[in-house]
Amino acid sequence: MKDTLIRVLALIHKEFLALLKDPKSRMVLIVPPMIQLLVFGYAATFDLKEIPYAVYNEDRGAASRDLVAAFDGAPAFRRVATLHAEAEIAPLVDRREVLVVLHIGPRFSADLLSGRSAPLQVIVDGRNSNTAMIALNYVSAMAEQYNREWIASHGLQSPPARLETRAWFNPNLESRWFFIPGIVGMLTLVTTMLVTALTVAREREQGTFDQLLVTPLRPGEILLGKALPGFLIGIVQASVIMLIATLWFKVPLLGSLLALYAGLALFLLSGVGAGLLISSLAVTQQQGLLGAFLFMVPAMILSGFATPIANMPPIVQAVTLIDPLRYFLVILRKVFLEGAGFDVLTGQLWPMALIGVVTLSLASWLFRHRMY
């Protein structure tokens, strides 16, 4: 028993020495966890530090002015617009310029002064159900505080301001409608990255990479042959997931399928480019796998899948601009929930095309450089 323990301890000591003496192994142990800790620490937050809102006040009484002043004075709220017509509400919400719209009716002050409850309509952008629920909780807290102060000063028993909420694009604020379209992008990214990030590294590790040099194939043709399987697998997998989302989970698909698949193709182009870039740098499959996960985890956190990008620090928001998943999630949710087409998706399509061209160009250059 003692001899066995000594042998096992000697083997453990040997493994630690081999692991810590290798600079690449030390880098893998230290750098990726630190990067992911910083990404999670700054980007993964469910707090709403600032709620952009607009006011449509049809009442000119003192009670409505006091209510609006209470929201203006709250640190969690930032008024971005004062509306003068109901038709102005939809464009602001569509463009995500506001998260909440307060609509005060023309008889708000008169009803309160006569002792009756007055409706306060709250329109919230329901595309991100988590954020919408948090914003509604903040609005409810402000309304309750206003009610307490009004009751204390006027001696009423019933709540004077009565909230009436409307959630646009997701009337029931179902989290499934928000998360499932995002899962389409995340699962597609995982599969595409794993397929492409290991392809060149596998050739090197198995010793068949040099055999490519004696084939009639040019480097560009080899790279294309490595890229297309991951691209086609991603198309098929995303299609299956979207079918399940619409037929089984009943998530509405309101927009253009053509626009959706154009976005999917450009997203896969950028994902395949990133995977081949990692694979061109990796010598072994283990390095390719680690590189893929080092890319995927921050990409998912920075994409806005779970936490709004607007809540992240400015420097982190700048980093999200090179994350293709960020743009594809916007496309998915706009097509699924808003019925969007090419006319409103152009701003999300061209960044993914640019990322795909840059990563594929770098992968091609590295592939040729390391081939010869």
**Domains held by the chain: number:** 2
Q: Please choose, from the candidates 240, 225, 217, the residue with its C-alpha nearest in 3D space to the C-alpha of residue 195.
A: 225
The reply to whether 158 and 180 lie within a common domain is no
349 within a domain of the structure (yes/no): yes
What is the identity of the amino acid at 322?
Answer: I
The reply to whether 151 and 259 lie within a common domain is no
Instruction: Measure the CA–CA gap between 66 and 70, rounded to whole angstroms.
Output: 6
Task: Give the residue with greater pLDDT, 314 vs 217.
Answer: 314
CATH number of the CATH domain containing 80: 3.40.1710.10
Average pLDDT value for the chain: 80
The reply to whether 198 and 298 lie within a common domain is yes
Pick from 10-19, 126-135, 229-238 the range whose average pLDDT is largest: 229-238
39 within a domain of the structure (yes/no): no
The reply to whether 156 and 193 lie within a common domain is no
The reply to whether 314 and 210 lie within a common domain is yes
Q: Please choose, from the candidates 158, 58, 166, the residue with its C-alpha nearest in 3D space to the C-alpha of residue 114.
A: 158
Residue 260's pLDDT band (boundaries 50, 70, 90)?
very high
Q: What is the pLDDT of residues 127-177, one digit of tens each?
A: 777 778 888 888 888 888 888 888 877 766 566 777 777 777 767 667 677
Q: Please choose, from the candidates 38, 61, 172, the residue with its C-alpha nearest in 3D space to the C-alpha of residue 112.
A: 61
Q: Please choose, from the candidates 253, 251, 242, 121, the residue with its C-alpha nearest in 3D space to the C-alpha of residue 174.
A: 251
Q: What is the mean pLDDT of residues 179-186?
A: 83
10 within a domain of the structure (yes/no): no
Does residue 367 surpass a pLDDT of 80?
no
Give the model's pLDDT for residue 12.
59
Task: Give the residue with greater pLDDT, 214 vs 195.
Answer: 195
Task: Give the residue with greater pLDDT, 36 vs 271.
Answer: 271
H-run or E-run covering 51:
strand 51-57
Residue 352's pLDDT band (boundaries 50, 70, 90)?
very high
Does residue 350 surpass a pLDDT of 90?
yes
The reply to whether 274 and 344 lie within a common domain is yes
Q: In whole angstroms, how far apart are CA 336 and each of 176, 242, 329? A: 12, 10, 10
The reply to whether 137 and 188 lie within a common domain is no
**Which residues are CB-contacts of 35 (< 8 A; sequence separation ≥ 6)?**
294, 298
Task: Give the residue with greater pLDDT, 14 vs 55.
Answer: 55
13 within a domain of the structure (yes/no): no
Residue 342's pLDDT band (boundaries 50, 70, 90)?
confident
Q: What is the mean pLDDT of residues 258-262?
A: 92
The reply to whether 82 and 183 lie within a common domain is no
Does residue 60 surpass a pLDDT of 90?
no
The reply to whether 331 and 351 lie within a common domain is yes
The reply to whether 162 and 71 lie within a common domain is yes
The reply to whether 199 and 333 lie within a common domain is yes
248 within a domain of the structure (yes/no): yes
88 within a domain of the structure (yes/no): yes
Domain termination site, one of 109, 136, 168: 168
Q: Please choose, from the candidates 192, 202, 185, 238, the residue with its C-alpha nearest in 3D space to the C-alpha of residue 359.
A: 192
The reply to whether 79 and 146 lie within a common domain is yes
Domain termination site, one of 115, 138, 168: 168
Task: Give the residue with greater pLDDT, 57 vs 17.
Answer: 57
Give the model's pLDDT for residue 47.
59
45 within a domain of the structure (yes/no): no
Pick from 101-110, 174-183, 222-231 the range whose average pLDDT is largest: 101-110
Give the model's pLDDT for residue 39.
58
Range of the structural domain that residue 67 is part of: 51-168
Query: What are 309's two structure tokens?
Result: 């990008």
Q: Give the residue carrying structure tokens 């991603």.
A: 234
User: Per DSSP, what are the bridge partners of residue 55?
Assistant: 82, 102
134 within a domain of the structure (yes/no): yes
Domain termination site, one of 168, 197, 221: 168
Give the model's pLDDT for residue 34.
62
Residue 207's pLDDT band (boundaries 50, 70, 90)?
low
Task: Give the residue with greater pLDDT, 368 vs 249.
Answer: 249
Residue 282's pLDDT band (boundaries 50, 70, 90)?
confident
Q: What is the mean pLDDT of residues 287-303?
A: 84
Give percent of the chain with pLDDT exceeding 70.
78
